[in-house]
Structure 1
Amino acid sequence: MQGLREMVRRFCSYTMVLILLAILGIGGAIATFIESAYDTQTAKILIYDARWYEAVMVLSTLSLIGLIYKTRMWKRMGSFLIHLSFIVILIGAGLTRYFGYEGIIHIREGQHEKEMITVVPYLHIQTHETSFEHPLVLGQLGKNDFSFLHVIHGKPLNITYKDYHYKGKGERANLEVYVTYGSQMRTLLLKGGAGWVEEPVIASFEGLELALTWGSKVMDLPFSLALRDFELKRYAGSMSPSSYSSDIEVLDANHNTLFAYQIFMNHPLHYAGYTFFQSSYDLDEQGTVLEINKDPGKWPTYAGYFLLTLGFLSNFFTQGSRFLKLRAYLKNVQLLWLLLCFSLCGIDAKANTTLYLEHLAHNSAVHAKEDLSSLLIQDMQGRIKPFSTEALDIVHKLTSESSLYHLSAEQIILGMSAQPQMWQEIPLVKLNNAHIKELLNLPPTQTFVSFSQVFDANGAYKLAHAINEANQKPQSKRGTFENDLIKFDEKLNIAYLTFKGVLFKFIPLPNDKNHTWLTPNDALQHPLISVEIKNAISTYFSGLQEGINRNEWTKASQALYTLKSHQKLYAQEVIPSQARIQAELLYNRLALFQKLIGVYFTLGFAAFFLALFSLFTQKQFKHVETILIAAFSLGLLMHTFALGLRWYVSGHAPWSDSYESMVYIGWSAAFAGLVVFRRSMLSLCAASIFAGIMMLVSHMSFVNPQMTNLVPVLKSYWLSIHVSVITASYGFLGLGALLGLLSLMLMACKTKSNENVLNEQIRTLYAINEISLIIGLSMLAIGNFFGGIWANESWGRYWGWDPKETWSYVSIIVYAFILHMRFVPKIYSVFSFSLASVFGFSSIIMTYFGVNFYLTGMHSYAATGESPSIPMGVYYAIGVLVALSLIAYRGRRVRAI
């Protein structure tokens, strides 16, 4: 009896819960690599849907229940609701997993349908008298062995596994089985799998005719759906879908209409326990594909989400909670303040003394800024935007600058369009790779390359052979040279298209239902474009020469006015309002996001050195610190204004792509540093540097800062809530990582003379770090479950074990583990917590960057090709962190809070 009690005590402990959590997290992480290397089904069989993984989930839940009872957790309402919510969510997930099902229904316009096919494949066995079916999911790894035994006419029918061949996504797989009936045995080949409904394979055994199929099962709904109309809307002048919808009528068993309903993305139909989601459509746009979901676990799961959110919010106010205890500690500690003024980062343009560039810079400045910049352009995705935006995008792509030779982006593009031959001789395309410069016979100090320098005297492309070899190499085997060469070649192609005028569509085609806009060359040849507009095009380009050479812009300005009037006349439905156009021009001119890089880094490093000076001299500079806090506040205000401006201009929340989300993470880190932890200068230092890092990374060459139209599924308020909360959590978790790093640095600097002083600072950093991680984990968990609601309302499932979803789940486990380490004395200390907060952030980096570039899945960019190699800088950073950790170990003795 005593042994049983000891087992129960150990099972219902924080140690056991953490062990089980670690198994779940490691299993999920491994599964993402299995999925990337093989397929989703294999990962599900081995891990996600495996009995052992479900058993660990159940055991962790039972352990948690025991822990709740053992610690009387209901006395701390916030913690109790958080942990209770996971139990409720697991119950809902179990109901969905074992009692719900999903399917697909395809309907053509003017027809009705009641048959759906399941997403799970079945092995279907049929004779003249009876039939049997077994769910049968196979993977590329592990044992697929199965054996199904039935007795027919007194004889055993046995079907066993022989072999399985996966053909690739979207193709039928091959399944070979042994079929034994009586004394006869045969090998049969079945083609099919999930999503396939195949003709049966017929075989005769001792007078028994047997039909076998392997694929999705056809099921009848208790009612029918009729498709009256399918409508696909596209962005203006583009083939990209803006939205698509199905006008449905629900029919009873006698085909009488019960009601009509319109289904579109994020607007499903709920009826008779079923939910129908808009999934896809036929290429001829005459049919629709709907996903069907029957989910008895929906409301228990939603109840769990509600309890989770309520619990995390309550935790910030529950008397005796860890959060309030740490806040109380910080109020009693003498903290330092922040520093310095900020400086805006500017880049010196290289001078060029040619007469042409001087004329262009002086004569075209007013025309480019006041007239040309507001001319509307339709880009390749159908977005209508000012010429200023298109010019900035192109110039930044070519030069990595926003201006060059004392010319604005608008002036550069104006010059390239007006006199392409001259601009082909002007160094314009940025090149850093020394090997490519050798191939072009350029001096190693030359930074910019002209278009003409990449061609020899016969007009042959000097890099043709090298670029062909680079493109033929698998991405995993490309080095720095190959990657730089491909990027440089892309820049040259953009320059060529700019010279040809292909990128500038500013002539709306009159009365076109798709709102197509034309380039000047296409417009001059199109029969529907009036003579007046064709003359205005010709007049404008001839007027450019007068303007550039003699600063006489009357002719060009009048022609431009005519073209703008044509835009308003024939594209009023799609062009932005004048206020939005002016806002976008202001956004371009201010370029606040780029300037904030210098602001945050200047403030961060100045704060760090001032903090060290204050720490070792035991002096404070109150008045200076107050001025510096005001400067940091102004920087955050600039950041907030820029985010709001981008939101207004783009028409959607500014966290819908990689660039926007990184900028938003930078804002959340700065916000956390100023509003939550402003009384600690070291914390503000960490917040400022982390914000600067995010702003710097967001403006690197692999990130596209362009504003783009949203795909239909992203037009959801649930998505906005999900992304805003979860990306804001990254700011708090990243801040925690830098605070942990500062703690390790202070531990490494400890001596006998400064030990007491540094220990107090480390404890302060530790308290702020834990608060930051508590807030970050709360937002991360809530944001993920908001994502579950979005996914369920968009396409009928909360969770699909997509790599990005899985790594978010792994990150929640990682930070739950870190914050619960204090309950296990053998592994807990200020040193281990600081170390874990630093290395734990790698799970966020994997979620945000690793999944996008190294794994395949719905959120991934690696699905279209092979994964790029891991930069050497990553290994160097890991080495530095490991070395710092080893040095800091000697100063690890710090009293915990």
Structure 2
Amino acid sequence: MSLYERLIFFLSFLQMRTKKILAVIYILLVIVMAMATILGKYTSLDFVSDNIFGAWWFCLLWAAGTATGIVYFIQRKIRRPIVVMLHLSFVIILSGALLTHLTAHRGMIHVRQGKITQTYITKEGNEARLPFEILLNKFNVTYHAGNMAAMDYASHITIIHNGKREQYQVSMNNIYSGYGTRLYQSSYDEDLKGSYLSVNSDPYGIPVTYTGYALLFFSLIAMLIEPKGKFRRLLRKEAVMALMLIAGYTSVHAQPSLTRQTADEFGKVLIVYNGRICPLETYAIDFTKKLYGKKTYKDFTPCQVLTGFMFWGDEWMKEPILRLKGSELRSKLNMNEYIAPINLFGKQGYILGPYLQDAQNQQDDNISKQLLDTDDKMMLLMDLTQAKSLKIFPYIEKNGMVDWFSPSDRFPASMPKAQQQYIRSILPLAGQLTRQGKTDMVNELILKLRKYQYRYGGNTIPSDKAIRAEQIYNKYPFTTILFIFNLTAGLLSVLFFTNRKRYKLFTGLMVISWLFLTFTMALRWIINGTIPLANGYETMLLLSWIIMLVSIPATRKMQLMTTFGLLMSGFMLLVSHLGEMDPSITPRMPVLNSPLLSIHVSIIMISYALLSLTFICAVAYFCTYNSKREGIKSVNRQLTSLSQIFLYPAITTLGLGIFIGAIWANISWGNYWGWDPKETWALITFMIYAIPIHSNSLSSFRNPKKYHLFMLLSFLSILMTYFGVNYILGGMHSYA
């Protein structure tokens, strides 16, 4: 056989096997990425970035997949412009990533105030020259109210090039770009006279990648609005429907405490907590939940519990309010689940003391975690009894800055002696008056303390609107009520499905639930001053909110979307409740103060909400698969179309969300893709859910049973992306 004949034979063989080869490469990429994130848990992100994601064979695997995909695409003779643009965008993005990998230069420059620098250290540890000189004029940190949490970090620099001097400020989400080089704020010296700036030079990869992103954005949206596209054809079907089957009273001990009214007044005093100024009531709620595991203890409000420990410490230390979470620890200490804090002190001193050193060294062990958790609770108590945590006294420094102090803090020399004496004496005086039963005088002291705060708190005092919003938020457990309400209403709605008139009542209940959840999220927004998207708890609220928002209008043509919306949103709220996600409201990290955060997280959450509905469709399909009732059989036949109606916009929003996140990362950190576990699993999820869209090539997905089985299993990738990364893998995007 001649060389030419051999070449023809090879090409023919390749044409026949292209789809199988492409499938193998695709699966290998998903497996490698998934395994690498797990390996990174036990090594480091840098290790897997260098040895897996940055390895030549991984790049070759992507290149082979791209080349095979192009060959298969040509073989299929696909001519639809939108489909061509969509797949072309991925080729361009991968080409940009390759250019970045091969040509980009990154490193770190350390600048000290008043010193000119022209070199930086590369990632490999070598010294390289900048195309300009840089002079640090000053570095400063801007703080949130109370001087507790950093709001922003800023390096004020001078760029010197050919004798020309230009002034710039480099801060979080505010980069310097010039002469083919970009500078990003990274870190700083403890004396605030030096700064570390990340250096990135990527003149070829970024424009190519951004071109791919722009093409991707356009083609994903066009895929949804294309008149002849599959998504529009699915929407034109008229009869699409959906289906889914989806602690006791204890008598109160006669513990001394403030009256409820006086304790509530004390709860209106402001405190620096979690890096922000908030009512003391908020701290009291978290304090009680931390100790006891619940918001209230017996008949005592959180403010009564807090002030009980403040003013009657000895008595309350004997109260069985401290919860030992783990059975292993309870067995080791031979104690019940709820104990009095005083029980942890014996003749030999602090009972946990001998175990803490070993627990610090073995933090992955369950009993070690339980020991450290209990010790944290005891430290919380000690800080309160010593008034260390009570930063409730503001003072205006000479430079105009307002700082907040606790009675045990060291005061600045400029603070008048009389003011220092007031800060140290008012709480002991309040304690003395409470023990004497002089409630009126205690109320008067609280009123004077609040007046003191407003006099010296300056611009750090939250607005009356924010304080009122927080008081309402603290008073009513909206999310707990809503998850019970939604799940109950969702289950009851199944019983009334055949009665259309009564079933509409549940749609109205979902609208009411959505309005209350909207109100809850608005309260959090008013309290913190930023859109509530910063942690796992808030994103679960958003996910529930989106599910109901999608379900309400969909009920007009798909009646059982009411059941869908109520049950799925209730489930999301329940997960946030049972998963012990932290509902605390805290200031954002400086890098999160970007408008791209809201866009990125919102779009990603929309995608997850829609994909969760495809999962419910799959559950409903298999629950009704063998039904002999004609009405149920009719609904069962329509579930595939409904699932695909959710799938297409879900893929679109997931794709947009991932790559908007990449753009944000590039703006903030100088690297649009860092193989962090969260972004890697988001890409894996995107790749998995993109598979059933290719039903023309993969005929198995035209079979409803196989399609729904795939969607059922695919939901595991969502769980891994959202929960697995947060609670198991960790990483920069972890916010459990």
Same fold (TM over 0.5): yes
Alignment of 1:239-318 (within 5 A): 240-253=149-162, 255-257=163-165, 259-295=166-202, 296-318=204-226
Write the deviation string for residues 95-126 of structure 1: whole angstroms up to 9, x where unpaired: 3222332232222211222223322xxxxxxx
Shift of 1:392: 0.9
In the other structure, the counterpart of 1:29 is: 34
Shift of 1:789: 0.6
Work out whether residues 822 and 829 of structure 1, in 8 Å CA contact, stay in contact via their aligned partners in 2: no
Change over 3 Å in CA distance of 1:744–1:364 after alignment to 2: same
Shift of 1:720: 2.3
SS of 1:278's equivalent? Answer: strand
Write the deviation string for residues 621-664 of structure 1: whole angstroms up to 9, x where unpaired: 12211111110111111111111211221122211122222222
In the other structure, the counterpart of 1:376 is: 270
Change over 3 Å in CA distance of 1:781–1:558 after alignment to 2: same
Work out whether residues 113 and 224 of structure 1, in 8 Å CA contact, stay in contact via their aligned partners in 2: yes
Residue 719 in 1 paired to residue 719 in 2? no
In the other structure, the counterpart of 2:376 is: 490
Work out whether residues 407 and 423 of structure 2, in 8 Å CA contact, stay in contact via their aligned partners in 1: no
In the other structure, the counterpart of 2:362 is: 474
Change over 3 Å in CA distance of 1:230–1:794 after alignment to 2: same
Residue among 49, 57, 62 paired with 1:57: 62
In the other structure, the counterpart of 1:764 is: 638
Residue 587 in 1 paired to residue 473 in 2? yes
Residue among 251, 261, 270 paired with 1:366: 261
> Structure 1: which amino acid aligns with 2:198?
E
Alignment of 1:363-762 (within 5 A): 364-369=259-264, 371-379=265-273, 381-431=274-324, 433=326, 436=329, 448-456=338-346, 458=347, 460-464=349-353, 467-468=355-356, 471=359, 474-476=362-364, 478-479=365-366, 483-511=369-397, 515-522=402-409, 528=415, 530-531=417-418, 534-535=421-422, 538=425, 542-543=429-430, 553-607=439-493, 609-610=494-495, 614=497, 620-676=498-554, 679-680=557-558, 682-700=560-578, 702-747=580-625, 750=626, 753-754=628-629, 757-762=631-636
Residue among 858, 876, 882 paired with 2:732: 858
SS of 2:267's equivalent? Answer: helix
Residue 809 in 1 paired to residue 717 in 2? no
In the other structure, the counterpart of 1:173 is: none
Distance in 2 between residues matched to 1:87 and 1:790, nearest whole Å? 21
Residue among 351, 355, 369 paired with 2:251: 351
Work out whether residues 683 and 765 of structure 1, in 8 Å CA contact, stay in contact via their aligned partners in 2: no
Q: Does 667-676 or 534-543 show the bigger shift? A: 534-543
Distance in 2 between residues matched to 1:537 and 1:606, nearest whole Å? 58
Change over 3 Å in CA distance of 1:604–1:521 after alignment to 2: same
TM-score (norm: length of structure 1): 0.74
Work out whether residues 524 and 534 of structure 1, in 8 Å CA contact, stay in contact via their aligned partners in 2: no
In the other structure, the counterpart of 1:207 is: none
SS of 1:106's equivalent? Answer: strand
Work out whether residues 398 and 491 of structure 1, in 8 Å CA contact, stay in contact via their aligned partners in 2: yes
Distance in 2 between residues matched to 1:418 and 1:764, nearest whole Å? 65
Alignment of 1:804-843 (within 5 A): 804-821=678-695, 823-826=697-700, 829-843=703-717
In the other structure, the counterpart of 1:882 is: none
Work out whether residues 181 and 200 of structure 2, in 8 Å CA contact, stay in contact via their aligned partners in 1: yes
Write the deviation string for residues 656-712 of structure 1: whole angstroms up to 9, x where unpaired: 122222222232333333344675455543443333333233234753221122222
SS of 1:794's equivalent? Answer: helix
Change over 3 Å in CA distance of 1:669–1:7 after alignment to 2: farther
Shift of 1:284: 2.2
Q: Which runs of 5+ in 2 are unaligned?
A: none
Shift of 1:376: 0.8
Work out whether residues 269 and 450 of structure 2, in 8 Å CA contact, stay in contact via their aligned partners in 1: yes
In the other structure, the counterpart of 1:324 is: 232
In the other structure, the counterpart of 1:870 is: none
> Structure 2: which amino acid aligns with 1:352?
V
Shift of 1:821: 4.9
Would you say how many aligned residue pairs link Structure 1 and Structure 2?
728
Work out whether residues 739 and 769 of structure 1, in 8 Å CA contact, stay in contact via their aligned partners in 2: yes
Distance in 1 between residues matched to 2:662 and 2:330, nearest whole Å? 50
Change over 3 Å in CA distance of 1:412–1:237 after alignment to 2: same
Change over 3 Å in CA distance of 1:851–1:72 after alignment to 2: same
Work out whether residues 540 and 573 of structure 2, in 8 Å CA contact, stay in contact via their aligned partners in 1: yes
Residue among 70, 84, 95 paired with 2:99: 95
Q: Does 389-398 or 41-50 show the bigger shift? A: 41-50
Work out whether residues 554 and 561 of structure 2, in 8 Å CA contact, stay in contact via their aligned partners in 1: no
Distance in 1 between residues matched to 2:408 and 2:157, nearest whole Å? 44
Shift of 1:522: 4.1
Q: Larger Rg: 1 or 2? A: 1
> Structure 1: which amino acid aligns with 2:461?
I
Shift of 1:335: 6.3
Distance in 1 between residues matched to 2:13 and 2:147, nearest whole Å? 65
In the other structure, the counterpart of 1:182 is: none
Distance in 2 between residues matched to 1:581 and 1:861, nearest whole Å? 26
Distance in 2 between residues matched to 1:682 and 1:548, nearest whole Å? 60
More helix by share: 2
Work out whether residues 111 and 117 of structure 2, in 8 Å CA contact, stay in contact via their aligned partners in 1: yes
Distance in 2 between residues matched to 1:525 and 1:427, nearest whole Å? 40
> Structure 2: which amino acid aligns with 1:286?
K
Q: Does 392-401 or 736-745 show the bigger shift? A: 736-745
Cα-Cα RMSD: 3.3
> Structure 1: which amino acid aligns with 2:217?
T
Write the deviation string for residues 284-336 of structure 1: whole angstroms up to 9, x where unpaired: 2212222222222222222222222222222221112222222223x224667
Shift of 1:471: 1.3
Change over 3 Å in CA distance of 1:679–1:386 after alignment to 2: farther
Distance in 1 between residues matched to 2:412 and 2:185, nearest whole Å? 41
Distance in 2 between residues matched to 1:225 and 1:670, nearest whole Å? 53
> Structure 2: which amino acid aligns with 1:56?
L
Distance in 1 between residues matched to 2:67 and 2:555, nearest whole Å? 37
Work out whether residues 275 and 292 of structure 1, in 8 Å CA contact, stay in contact via their aligned partners in 2: yes
Shift of 1:8: 5.7
Distance in 2 between residues matched to 1:803 and 1:397, nearest whole Å? 30
Distance in 1 between residues matched to 2:711 and 2:379, nearest whole Å? 45
Work out whether residues 244 and 563 of structure 2, in 8 Å CA contact, stay in contact via their aligned partners in 1: no
> Structure 1: which amino acid aligns with 2:407?
P
Write the deviation string for residues 454-505 of structure 1: whole angstroms up to 9, x where unpaired: 344x47445555x4487167344x34x5544543343333233333332211
Change over 3 Å in CA distance of 1:59–1:837 after alignment to 2: same
Shift of 1:773: 2.6
Change over 3 Å in CA distance of 1:421–1:679 after alignment to 2: farther
Q: Does 690-699 or 61-70 show the bigger shift? A: 61-70
Distance in 1 between residues matched to 2:242 and 2:193, nearest whole Å? 67
Change over 3 Å in CA distance of 1:828–1:491 after alignment to 2: farther
Shift of 1:84: 2.6
Distance in 1 between residues matched to 2:58 and 2:242, nearest whole Å? 47
Change over 3 Å in CA distance of 1:678–1:76 after alignment to 2: farther
> Structure 2: which amino acid aligns with 1:378?
V
Change over 3 Å in CA distance of 1:500–1:605 after alignment to 2: farther
> Structure 1: which amino acid aligns with 2:228?
G
Change over 3 Å in CA distance of 1:26–1:337 after alignment to 2: closer
Q: Alignment identity in percent?
A: 27
Work out whether residues 318 and 340 of structure 2, in 8 Å CA contact, stay in contact via their aligned partners in 1: yes
Change over 3 Å in CA distance of 1:80–1:231 after alignment to 2: same
Write the deviation string for residues 30-51 of structure 1: whole angstroms up to 9, x where unpaired: 2223333334454345432333
Work out whether residues 96 and 205 of structure 2, in 8 Å CA contact, stay in contact via their aligned partners in 1: yes
Work out whether residues 338 and 628 of structure 1, in 8 Å CA contact, stay in contact via their aligned partners in 2: no
